[in-house]
């Protein structure tokens, strides 16, 4: 199957080349200073970007917080939110999403 101008999609079918380009695009290099080594700052920036994307994907109503319904997938997960909810407001901020409360 050959790719088309619409990103390799033809009638809902994605070519192998388009899938490969999509996979490669999602794995952008995290090493940015050109020294050929991954330093902690580069790792941390890449990790933060991944967490930010995950948070945005789960935040269905795009209010900047995660509710128990958004976290639960197919059910309400107040228990999971409570494990991370440091300010006890019943929702998770991006900062709370990063680490459980102590």
Note the pTM of the prediction, 2 decimals: 0.61
3-21 pLDDT, tens digit each:
444 444 444 466 666 666 5
Domains of the chain (ranges plus CATH)?
Answer: 1-30 (no CATH), 31-98 (1.10.238.10)
pLDDT in tens, 44-98: 898 889 999 999 999 999 999 999 989 876 777 888 899 899 999 999 999 998 8
* H-helix segments, 14-86: 16-26, 40-58, 68-72, 78-84
Using 50, 70 and 90 to split pLDDT, how confident is the model at 2? very low
The token pair that represents 40 in the structure block? 């902690």
Are the beta carbons of 66 and 82 closer than 8 angstroms? Answer: no
Please, what is the end-to-end C-alpha distance for the chain in angstroms? 54
pLDDT number for residue 24: 53
């Amino acid at each position: 199957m050959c790719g088309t101008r619409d990103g390799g999609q033809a009638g809902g079918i994605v070519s192998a080349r388009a899938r490969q380009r999509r996979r490669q695009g999602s794995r952008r290099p995290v090493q940015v200073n050109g020294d050929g080594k991954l330093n902690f700052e580069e790792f941390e920036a890449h990790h933060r970007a991944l967490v930010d994307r995950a948070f945005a994907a789960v935040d269905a109503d795009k209010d900047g917080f995660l509710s128990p319904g958004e976290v639960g997938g197919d059910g309400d997960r107040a228990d999971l939110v409570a494990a991370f909810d440091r300010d006890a407001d019943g929702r998770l901020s991006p900062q709370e999403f990063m680490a459980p409360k102590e």
